[in-house]
Amino acid sequence: MNKEYKILEEKIGNLGLDINWVKDSIRNLEIETPSWGYGDSGTRFKVFRKKGVPGSLYEKLDDAAIVNKYTGVCPSVAVHIPWDKVENYDDACAYAENLGIRIGAVNPNVFQDDDYMLGSVTNADSDTRKKATAHMVECVDIARKFKSKSLSLWFADGTNYPGQGNIRKRKNWMLESLLELDKAMDDDMRMLIEYKAFEPGFYHTDINDWGMSYLLANKVGKKAQVLVDLGHHAQEVNIEHIVATLLDENKIGGFHFNNKKYADDDLIVGTIKPYELFLIFNEIIDAKFDGKTKDCAENIAYMIDQSHSIEPKIPAMIKSVINVQTAHAKALLVDRKALENARNNNDVLGAESAVHDAFLNDVRPLLAAVREEMGLNPDPMKAYLDSGYEMEKLKRGYGQGWE
């Protein structure tokens, strides 16, 4: 063990924390990666086609397995339907299993068909609403075939102009559809309801914020929970406040990690707002010490939802995982007793320091030690780049980049 690690270990001991609890917590933080993060993507203006980029689900699983191989914490892959439909689901599951991974959340797609231009489940046309709901119900069956227990829902539904839609009617159509979906789901499945403040609708979005997701999740019942995508808020919204509130209500089910500077920028998580990410984990870890919120805090599904258009895709995914682990590890090191004392004494600056000091730790030696104990290379990025996979990828014959 190197000197930096020893110093950190001593510091952790001095905080009264059990080093094994810290290490187990780091090891057990699983981060799902998205199938669509491995394929070609771009901006509103252009999709950049790259050589060796996967097209089929099988090819995406190959790349996802590589991310898991070097990070050790990404054993599941979210899929988007119909993009990731396959002929034989047992075969796809066996393929994933053979690579040491599995299928995670199933994401229905109710935004790409022409019929959905004016909305999917909130469309004024009842046939379109039926079609969108039927697709989501079909996704329940696909989830069963993929042996997945979660459905992750995001709706592009919204309007561009005042007066364009009847907002109350649309709210009720949304609820009707979610209730139908709930009926089709097995009891041990979960429905994650994602919100987004804007885009593609620019006047109103049918599920615009956590309040709307929460309201719907409450009406649907116990299978439904809120999903927080870091890119989906108005500027400067206090996301950690939302997280703490949803934890207290036992209604937070998942995260989509990414970072934004201005809008839903899909940048690598932790590159723009690392402190925000740390503060979110601080709330989650705190909730794990509270009997009322413990179960909810321990069952959150973490996923990276990023489409890298200028970054090399696998390194971008590895970097994202490292950034999440870094923020989480720092949050584990908050001196919660000092924080509690400061709060009880109305010591504003003491409380702020108890949180901020943890963020200032360099946890890289700790993460490296955990990786070594997991039998991994302590530097996943270097190990990946040295592996030659990036070059092999360029040579392989599949992928949309070869069209």
Of 256 and 336, CB closest to Mn ion: 256
Q: Which parts of 15-56 fold into alpha helices (H)? A: 19-28
Which distant-in-sequence residues (6+ apart) come within 8 Å of 88 by Cβ?
none
Least Å distance, CB 264 to ligand PSV, is 5
Of 207 and 322, CB closest to ligand PSV: 207
Q: Which parts of 72-125 fold into alpha helices (H)? A: 89-98
Residue 35 corresponds to which amino acid? S
115 binds, among Mn ion, ligand PSV, none (CB under 5 to 8 A by kind): none
Least Å distance, CB 401 to Mn ion, is 25
Specify whether the backbone of 346 is left (phi greater than 0), alpha (psi in -120 to 50) or beta.
left
CB–CB of 354/338 below 8 Å?
yes
Rounded to the nearest 10 degrees, the angle between the axes of helix 19-28 and helix 313-332 is 150
32 binds Mn ion (CB under 5 A): no
Interacting residue with ligand PSV among 38, 70, 116, 154 (CB under 6 A):
154
Choose one: 88-96, 227-235, 328-336, 342-350; the region binding Mn ion (CB under 5 A): 227-235
266 binds Mn ion (CB under 5 A): no
The full DSSP string for 323-361 is: HHHHHHHHHHT--HHHHHHHHHTT-HHHHHHHHHHHHTS
Interacting residue with ligand PSV among 30, 113, 264, 276 (CB under 6 A):
264
The residue among 29, 193, 230, 214 whose CA lies nearest residue 105 is 193
User: Partners of 134 in the beta sheet?
Assistant: none
Specify whether the backbone of 399 is left (phi greater than 0), alpha (psi in -120 to 50) or beta.
left
Site string for Mn ion, 293-312 (x = CB under 5 A): ------------x-------
157 binds, among Mn ion, ligand PSV, none (CB under 5 to 8 A by kind): none
Of 59 and 84, CB closest to ligand PSV: 84
Q: Count residues contacting ligand PSV (CB under 6 A)?
A: 9
393 binds ligand PSV (CB under 6 A): no
* Dist CA 218 CA 235 (whole Å): 26
Least Å distance, CB 73 to ligand PSV, is 21
The 3-state DSSP class for residue 183 equals: helix
Least Å distance, CB 194 to Mn ion, is 6
CB atoms within 10 A of CB 141: 12
Site string for ligand PSV, 160-199 (x = CB under 6 A): ----------------------------------x-x---
113 binds ligand PSV (CB under 6 A): no
Q: Which of residues 268-327 bind ligand PSV (CB under 6 A)?
A: 305
Q: Count residues contacting Mn ion (CB under 5 A)?
A: 3
Interacting residue with Mn ion among 229, 240, 283, 335 (CB under 5 A):
229
* Dist CA 225 CA 227 (whole Å): 7
By CB under 6 A, name the binding residues for ligand PSV.
Answer: 36, 107, 154, 194, 196, 229, 256, 264, 305
